[in-house]
Amino acid sequence: MSLYCGIACRRKSLWCYRLLSTYVTKTRYLLELKEDDDACKTAQQTGAFYLFHSLAPLLQKSEHQYLAPQHSLSELEKLLAKFGQDTQRIEDSVLLGCSEKHEAWFALDLVLNSSSPINASLQKPQMETELKGSFIELRKALFQLNEKDASLLSTAQALLRWHDAHQFCSRSGQPSKKNMAGSKRVCPSNKIIYYPQMAPVVITLVSDGTQCLLARQSSFPKGMYSALAGFCDIGESLEEAVRREVAEEVGLEVERLQYSASQHWPFPNSSLMIACHATVKPGQTEIQVNLRELEAAAWFSHDEVATALRRNNPYTQQQNGTFPFWLPPKLAIAHQLIKEWVEKPTCSALPA
């Protein structure tokens, strides 16, 4: 779908209308919904809503997958009435995106509340029966969702969590007010604007040219190893954060760095994961694990990693009681980084 831009551009004293791509018109539409409360409210009339309960999304099980059901505004109004809640609550919803046909997608948490008093007469199990689904912790469901739902629900959870945790102006102590789309909050007394925040995190796959370094924290599922990750410190560049994290966690110095990709990660708060490949100096491969941060770290051969990437059922305990070495699932950027290395082990190029 393409639309003519409403904004005319002047060229050689003639007004011409530029043909805009679907992507551009969609982006401009979403920007309008973020900036104009009335336009956003109008978009809710034809929009679709994803529902949450204490930050757990409503899901329906379908074979080996979870599906995220959508509700129209009129369905949502009926549900809220059944749950003993005011339809005013719909204004607590947050905008997630829209389809190519400009159907806007929103998320609403039926329990967390940022503006109106809770009057939920129904309990969670009764809500689940009414909604023909279950509220499932996103961490448990993420890897059984399709890519689109995983991305939308991650954004939704991050936004809903941010609004729940930022209801007051940190300068005046007064309640701040969410805009209709949920893209910001404003303090009515001093007009300070607060925007949802993400913490930058570097995730680095260190290689010595033939092997790669993987590590695990005690909180990881048994047998799972991942690339080294760490929050950026204030004032640091990405390159500095990568060098520091690798040195802190495994006692090595990296010398070459190559950016790979990035990903929004909703856990435990909102992070922007920035993934890189890095190499250590030849011969400098002796790991000194920082046991305050990691349970274990080790070098793995190309074959070991390639085999682990193909493993289907990583949770199966072996007869000797141990768990096989396995890697994060496809949706995690760590998986992409490791896969990239398996396909092209010499992918670190730039000096760190």
Ligand X SMILES: NC(=O)c1ccc[n+]([C@@H]2O[C@H](COP(=O)([O-])OP(=O)(O)OC[C@H]3O[C@@H](n4cnc5c(N)ncnc54)[C@H](O)[C@@H]3O)[C@@H](O)[C@H]2O)c1
* Residue number with CB closer to Mg ion (36 or 293): 293
Q: Which part of the chain contacts Mg ion (CB under 5 A), choosing from 90-98, 196-204, 230-238, 274-282?
A: 230-238
- CA distance readout (Å), 264 to 3, 128, 164, 200: 30, 29, 19, 9
**Between β-strands 254-265 and 271-280, what pairing exists: parallel, antiparallel or unpaired?**
antiparallel
Residues that bind ligand X (CB under 6 A): 199, 201, 203, 226, 229-231, 263, 265, 267-268, 271, 273, 293, 328, 332-334
**What number of chain residues touch Mg ion (CB under 5 A)?**
2
Secondary structure letter of residue 224 according to DSSP: B
Can residue 230 be called a binding residue for Mg ion (CB under 5 A)?
yes
231 makes contact, choosing from Mg ion, ligand X, none, with CB < 5 to 8 Å by partner type, with ligand X
CA 289 to chain centre: 29
To ligand X, the closest distance from the beta carbon of 49 in angstroms equals 27
Rg, Å, the chain Cα set = 24
To ligand X, the closest distance from the beta carbon of 235 in angstroms equals 13
Q: How many CB atoms lie within 10 A of CB 225?
A: 24
To Mg ion, the closest distance from the beta carbon of 176 in angstroms equals 32
* Residue number with CB closer to Mg ion (69 or 230): 230
* Residue number with CB closer to ligand X (176 or 271): 271
* Residue number with CB closer to Mg ion (43 or 229): 229
* Residue number with CB closer to Mg ion (175 or 200): 200
- CA distance readout (Å), 241 to 188, 195, 203, 208, 352: 37, 24, 10, 19, 10
- Contacts with 20 (C-beta within 8 Å, 6 or more apart), sequence order: 2, 3, 4, 5, 28
Please report, as ranges, the residues that interact with Mg ion according to CB under 5 A. Answer: 229-230
